[in-house]
Structure 1
């Protein structure tokens, strides 16, 4: 507090300067004289809506704001000085923003979400009123200024975080690895000050190479769509090398469109020759099908997916990348569920890849991110209650010797692991889903469901990576067989990589520990982030676009929600955009 003594002129000046520097709006007020437009902005924003707490029902030109609190904060910090229009009309910054909004579909976004219809109508009306000095013209300029700012914040939020909250789609949890928060108010201040608005908005998009690949893939498939797409292949008998069939000519044309068949191939030839077989193999490889060069029902079904459906598939995958942080970490483990694959990535480049088995559609592997902090050699398997009842109880009823052969021990629930119960002493016919007072634990050994090692990253779904004795499953093209956890093809290679920085864990030492058949926990020197991701479209290292089946119907659900998102409502009664303000 200041004393009650009068301040000297010098001290008064210093205090005034400090006060101005403490409040950005006040400092700007000292530098800029208030224009009529700025005064109108102040009156509009600090009128009834401020008393209502910057209600989301604040409307301009009949459209309701989606980010009213951010709009108010932005203008308060710059003393209500406009950024898109001035007393003489629109500024260059407005044209830069409008161009970005019109090109939003390049990133799979819907341009109509960003007030474009109202903005175009306002610009037309303002142009017709040019030269007039009416209150109506000023009101339109204020509407234009504020709607543009709201559009900037809405577009920026969609670019940074996606149009939907991933948690609304079910088994999704990104914990501490969700997208970092960015102050879009500060971004707009910097964009205005540096005159780099388009570049700064472009930099908000995901920087990961996978997203940029999807951007290129979308441009490629939009060009195919603009040229008419492709024709369907008629159903019929399988086609393979040596066949002569009128459908082969259609097959050639179809494979030419997506670059699987070389352009110099005879397009009207009805012979299934070596070139066609190799093109079919390339197509099958790109779509995760069995690569046999034979056009059967599964290959025909993939060939006949329309180009517009492939574009929508690319767009929903672009949306998912907006849910992840801009940087996945110096090192990370990425599991792509529909691709049945795992990559260990260092500085954006894969250093270890392997096949995986994921959850079946009735027992889905969740989408999540968490830090892997330890691994366990020779793990016990504590059978989850649902698996004990649904999978193991029928086997225990049918075969009393099953538990002993598979090295299961049975304990009374709540009694600890001290005293196992003899399976033969249990009347299994009296045990059911409603009455199952037991816990099952499988000891380490060749038949253990977790194999020789499990990799732990604590999460709400209690899933993890692990080895498996069922090695033959890795040879199948589609590998959705687990109960939710992820079985890995190369568990010892993964363990060796994770423990490599210690310098103390050679492959020989790991095998020595495994030979003891005793459980052994090893904490990682540095936790590594794990991302269980759902990617059904991406561009591979050779520049070809790959697609996968929508294993859990996640694409379908996300596409339906995105298509159901309407442009900003004009009556304020159906705000359907989940924002973070």
Structure 2
């Protein structure tokens, strides 16, 4: 049966058009007529009208096939049969590929009586081609189009076009195409909205709440509104510079297409007033990445002030000492190939897909890899400060929580693992260790707290499992938590806090803690968080600290805290930043994203 857009004149006009459509190639057709010597006026009008169609209408027409509702009903029977015979665990194989989520597929088709979703009322496959375009464009998001049945779908569409030119496509082919398209949309929409990799299975320390969406309902609505591409675009992250990172990905890919950037030869450090052939290499490298313009290169082998400023900018964007000297660390970062940077961008776009779409009007982000805290208000940075995070073997976990109160002059309740690994061994060497460090043994129970004589306990038997006491350090200037602790209850017992050890903030790499996060400006943060309560002035906060007694203060307005791990991002000034992978999480991510989604 011909689709409504086709031209099938009656025998009285002696004209019979048959149109063969090809995707992405504009409008192609062949004519068969019974009177080849001339065209009637009517047929000439139709012929001219056909060529006067707008590109949009022509594009829509080129996706139509001879198909009607009765044929959809037969296809529905095949779809139902394929799903019902999937077995347990359910598996549906089409060509060389498996359907990824048969359960979700069953749910989607059951709600629509197993009617095919992708062949329109008049045989239009426009939405199928829209999905093909969206799958191809997923590369712009750092995804792999082949993961979404792209080749299989294109092969089936090619077969359908050939069938349409003859006797029409088979019901089996249409059923297979429908199942693949639906599975591709469900998988792609899930990946765009929540990431390709489950952060919990990839990395047990990544527990940021992944947003879940009803992708089945989203597909139904997208098909109803004829908005496949637009719907998928709306699923993309809208927060924390995702779109800027996508632009950076496109920029670096263009650099890669031009051959990448040149390396700088090994040798001594290069600095202002250096005269070296390697200075030319350095300039070419920075020009290739856009960190230096060709117009600024006027000094040949001389390392001038302009180059020094370009090196400083590069160092700032890579978390290095911004001294303008191209030393070992700077040259190491400069010589990272563009393909490695492209992959780093892709990995961090995936991480941004893991975090909630709506971060709120006010929120705190701690980027572990950047050793930095930023407080955002209405989408802009209101406050920034350095932080110290967990050591390589005491990783700070990634998670989100809500800060509800702070403590002035906090106690330090020593975690059991620190007590067993570090403090008890020190006690065996120095019996007075607890007293020297103002540590007390505490027993809690029945609503009371009791201080225990440490000499009454057999410390040789103490372990993280069987030690039923706590070690607690009283508030004071040497308390590891400093004078202020910021609380956002979480199962990791991680929080932000002051520290008596201020010198560590001067270092570039600040991974020295046991997992908690030491902050550079605790007083400024406390003032900001309490400013909605006019009774808590700066003077009152300082007076309460000077008093020395422990005091909990509820925040007038709770604030969300997101502990993230990002090694690439674009800042508010539009500068692409990279950081070292201090916890080797990029390596794990790269392996996980390099694997095809598993077959059922």
TM-score by length of 2: 0.83
The change in CA–CA distance for 1:60 and 1:499 in structure 2 (over 3 A counts) is same
What is the deviation of 1:128? 2.4
**Cα separation, 2, equivalents of 1:446 and 1:188:** 59
Mapped pair 1:142 → 2:175: yes
**1:297-325: CA deviation from partner (whole Å, max 9, x where unpaired):** 11111111111111111111111111111
**Other structure's SS at 2:296 match:** coil
Give 1:529's aligned residue.
560
**1:495-542: CA deviation from partner (whole Å, max 9, x where unpaired):** 112222222211111111111111101122332211100011011122
Give 1:378's aligned residue.
409
What is the deviation of 1:174? 4.2
Give 2:548's aligned residue.
517
> Is this contact kept in 2: 1:230–1:257, CA < 8 A?
yes
Q: Which runs of 5+ in 1 are unaligned?
A: 1-32, 567-573, 577-581
Map 1:420-569 onto structure 2 (within 5 A): 420-421=452-453, 439-565=470-596
Give 2:450's aligned residue.
418
Mapped pair 1:104 → 2:128: no
Q: Which runs of 5+ in 2 are unaligned?
A: 1-66
What is the deviation of 1:454? 0.6
- Pick aligned residue for 1:237 from 256, 268, 274: 268
**Other structure's SS at 1:213 match:** helix
- Pick aligned residue for 2:127 from 93, 100, 118: 93
> Is this contact kept in 2: 1:331–1:344, CA < 8 A?
yes
Q: Which is higher, the Rg of structure 1 or of structure 2? A: 2
What is the deviation of 1:82? 3.7
**Cα separation, 1, equivalents of 2:214 and 2:462:** 55
- Pick aligned residue for 1:329 from 357, 360, 363: 360
> Is this contact kept in 2: 1:153–1:184, CA < 8 A?
yes
Give 1:403's aligned residue.
434
The change in CA–CA distance for 1:426 and 1:72 in structure 2 (over 3 A counts) is closer
**Cα separation, 1, equivalents of 2:579 and 2:82:** 53
Cα RMSD, aligned residues only: 2.6
The change in CA–CA distance for 1:462 and 1:427 in structure 2 (over 3 A counts) is closer
Aligned residues: 532
The change in CA–CA distance for 1:307 and 1:317 in structure 2 (over 3 A counts) is same
**Other structure's SS at 1:172 match:** coil
**Cα separation, 2, equivalents of 1:133 and 1:201:** 34
What is the deviation of 1:484? 0.2
> Is this contact kept in 2: 1:106–1:219, CA < 8 A?
yes
**Other structure's SS at 1:278 match:** helix
What is the deviation of 1:132? 3.3
Give 1:575's aligned residue.
599
**1:108-149: CA deviation from partner (whole Å, max 9, x where unpaired):** 010001111111111222222224337x72321222222112
Map 1:126-525 onto structure 2 (within 5 A): 126-133=160-167, 137-172=170-205, 174=207, 177-179=209-211, 181-266=212-297, 269-411=300-442, 417-421=449-453, 439-525=470-556
What is the deviation of 1:445? 0.7
- Pick aligned residue for 1:46 from 80, 84, 107: 80
> Is this contact kept in 1: 2:444–2:450, CA < 8 A?
no
> Is this contact kept in 1: 2:80–2:114, CA < 8 A?
no
What is the deviation of 1:153? 0.9
> Is this contact kept in 2: 1:253–1:267, CA < 8 A?
no
**Other structure's SS at 1:484 match:** coil
> Is this contact kept in 2: 1:536–1:547, CA < 8 A?
yes
> Is this contact kept in 2: 1:249–1:267, CA < 8 A?
no
> Is this contact kept in 2: 1:61–1:143, CA < 8 A?
no
Give 2:148's aligned residue.
114
**Cα separation, 1, equivalents of 2:201 and 2:424:** 34
The change in CA–CA distance for 1:505 and 1:53 in structure 2 (over 3 A counts) is farther
**Cα separation, 1, equivalents of 2:442 and 2:485:** 23
The change in CA–CA distance for 1:447 and 1:45 in structure 2 (over 3 A counts) is same
**Cα separation, 2, equivalents of 1:46 and 1:34:** 19
**Cα separation, 2, equivalents of 1:287 and 1:196:** 40
What is the deviation of 1:172? 3.4
What is the deviation of 1:446? 0.7
What is the deviation of 1:293? 1.2
**Other structure's SS at 1:260 match:** coil
The change in CA–CA distance for 1:48 and 1:143 in structure 2 (over 3 A counts) is closer
**Other structure's SS at 2:347 match:** helix
The change in CA–CA distance for 1:386 and 1:85 in structure 2 (over 3 A counts) is same
**Other structure's SS at 2:251 match:** helix
The change in CA–CA distance for 1:71 and 1:399 in structure 2 (over 3 A counts) is closer
**Cα separation, 2, equivalents of 1:328 and 1:318:** 16
The change in CA–CA distance for 1:75 and 1:422 in structure 2 (over 3 A counts) is closer
What is the deviation of 1:194? 2.2
